[in-house]
Amino acid sequence: MADPGPGLGKWLDDERYVAQLRSLFIGDFLVAEAGASRAAKGRQASVAAPLDGASIAEETLQAIQSCFVLPPLRYRLTREAEVNGYRKAEKLCAAAVKRHPAAADRWRVRNRRIIALMGMWNLAREPRHLEEAVKEAKAVLATELPSGADVVARFCLAKDALRRGDTDPETLLRGLIDANGGDKAAATALAAAAVLAIEANAEALYQEYRQRLLSLSDEDHPELWPVLSFIRDRHHDYRLFWGNLGRWGYTREQRYKVRYVISGGGAPQESSRVLVARLKGLDGQELRIPQDLAGKMTGIVFVEPPEEESDRGICVRRLKDFADQFSKQGVPVIGAFLSEDIDTVKALVEDCGGSFRAAMVPGGLRNPLVRRLGILSADRMPNPFLLHGDGTIAWWVSGLTYPVELTSMEGAVSASIGINIEKLRTDRAFEALKQGGFKRALLLLGERLPPKLAVDPWTADRLQGCALAHMGLNNWQAALTAIDAAIAERKRASRHGARLSLGTVEMHFAKSTVLKRLGRGQEAENERAVAERDLAWLERAPEAKYPPSYARNGIPVGVYDDLLKKVRSALEDRDQ
């Protein structure tokens, strides 16, 4: 029987996962108007303002807007509720357009009618709905529009063209971006193009638009939070553009590397993204993030009390497990409950043993913070975040759940908390090493040796860092001891004692340098020959640089390879 893989193929059986994709493909985010910051509202004024003439009544616009439910509640609607919302919006829009033929902001309503029709087409698969949406889009583009008001119509026409296959995807998407300013295209146009690239299976274009979107500020683009949180989610980023399961299931690499997705070892978060929130403590006091973190690394676990009593035990177990992982590493942790029912929250905290500081998120799921962070299903899997002392997000994982090779999602997330805490501490030590602060680097690295974790994936890297610090201080015998320990640890941690990887090759180069300085010339030459031989082999087989056996054990190998290589090269240049 074929190996079913880690269950990724079954994601499409999850209603919330499908609803999230469907909402993006329909283009709901293009007509979202909630949570806009003061800066964003000011920037959107040129788009929102009528060109001339009378405006459509605000109550009419609000009635239409209420048909478009915001995430994450949008992802929990039944299919019947989804299609009914689009039908209601379409009727209200059609009536408003008919009643206000001279309104200068009629494009607002027509854009929402286009999205409603595409939603009806997506759910009902009746061609007439798409045909009507295309007709409306062409009519919108035939009118005078404020800057950026044409994105919905162009999104619709591009989607129809992709379906027909008359034009290649790159021409279509480049045309959409060029029509909106090219290099200066509006953020909504970039988001629309990124979503269309997914549908068109145009991975290169998607990655291009994704990188441009990642440079945007959350605060300035609240209307795009559903898209920004989606493209930041490592689960989605890893799974997109895979083909369907073949006869033999997923490849070995795909099955093992999914654990990297959770730990995020090879995909660090954007360093400028800061979690800003105001929570309410159970004592009624306000908890401000990041102001009240006291400059310390902190964990936050967002959790939604489950509706079903039968799910309560699972929720308590997972919340307690995640909170304990932070506490065991000496990191303060906050349990952030997406509920304002203080009795329910207090009961859950008591069941967890009160092992963490508890706070409530005002408004629960309706709080804009939920959309901004991309919290999807915290009632099924608590969403842990690891923050630097200034509130910068160092690591997080969303609530998507699925089986993971050799473990459960809960087990993989739990282990990843410790992995990332240790990584932040290792980052601090390596920053000192990179700056030439060798004594400080040794002090920081020594604080974590031996590690508190039963299995610490960074031990080999830290031992290698110790060797380089000793080299910087001309402590050659100590450097040899450390580099031998690093090689042995990398070999021990790999499955079946496999030792070959790009990192171990670099360790052998460092050992060769140390041996040469100790006057052991022949041994140094032998060590360098081994390193050069293995490097040549890896260059012929680049897929083997980081063996699947490491991923199988959840070890994010290679994260520090480039940094450590640069330090070694700089030390060798210094001594020449």
Q: How far is CA 427 from CA 329, 391, 393, 430, 434, in A?
A: 16, 17, 14, 5, 10
Q: Cα(272)–Cα(281) distance, rounded to whole angstroms?
A: 27
Residue 410 pLDDT level (bands cut at 50, 70, 90): confident
- Report the CATH number of the 427-575 domain: 1.25.40
Q: Rounded CA gap, 451 and 458, in Å?
A: 9
pLDDT at residue 388 tops 80: yes
pLDDT at 296: 93
Rounding to the nearest 10 degrees, give the CA dihedral for residues 102, 103, 104, 105: -150
Mean pLDDT of 80-98: 96
Rg (CA), the chain: 27
Q: Given the DSSP bridges, would you call strands 277-281 and 286-289 parallel, antiparallel or unpaired?
A: antiparallel
277-391 and 427-575 have identical folds? no
Do residues 546 and 502 make contact, with C-beta atoms less than 8 angstroms apart?
yes
Task: For tokens 């949406």, name the residue.
Answer: 133
Question: What would the CATH number be for the domain defined by 277-391?
Answer: 3.40.30.10
Q: Mean pLDDT for the chain?
A: 85
pTM, two decimals, is: 0.86
The residue among 487, 463, 457 whose CA lies nearest residue 554 is 457
Could you give the CA distance from residue 47 to residue 127 in angstroms, rounded to a whole number? 31
Three state DSSP letters for 129-153: HHHHHHHHHHHHHCCCCCCCCCHHH
Tell me: the pLDDT tens digits for 122-137? 998 899 999 999 999 9
Type and span of the H or E element at 303: strand 298-303
Residue 21: both structure tokens together: 């994709």
Contacts of 572 (CB under 8 A, 6+ apart): 513
d(CA 135, CA 142): 11
Report d(CA 340, CA 359) in Å as an integer.
9
User: How confident is the model over 28-69, as pLDDT tens digits?
Assistant: 999 987 443 333 444 444 444 444 446 788 899 999 999 999
Mean pLDDT of the 258-276 span:
73
300-313 pLDDT per residue, tens: 999 999 988 888 89
In whole angstroms, give the CA distance from residue 51 to residue 409. 52
How confident is the model at residue 45, as a pLDDT? 41
List C-alpha distances in Å: 26 to 112, 150, 156, 373: 11, 16, 9, 21
User: Does position 551 have pLDDT exceeding 60, yes or no?
Assistant: no
Return d(Cα 16, Cα 124) in angstroms, integer: 18
Structure tokens at 221: 């683009």
For 81-95, b where at least 16 C-beta lie within 10 A, e where not — what string? ebbebbbebbebbbe
CATH T-level assignment (fold) for domain 18-233: 1.25.40
Domain positions in the chain are 18-233, 277-391, 427-575
Round to whole Å and give the CA distance between 23 and 75: 8
Omega prior to 72 cis, within 30 of 0: yes
What is the model's pLDDT at position 534? 85
Mean pLDDT of the 425-445 span = 93
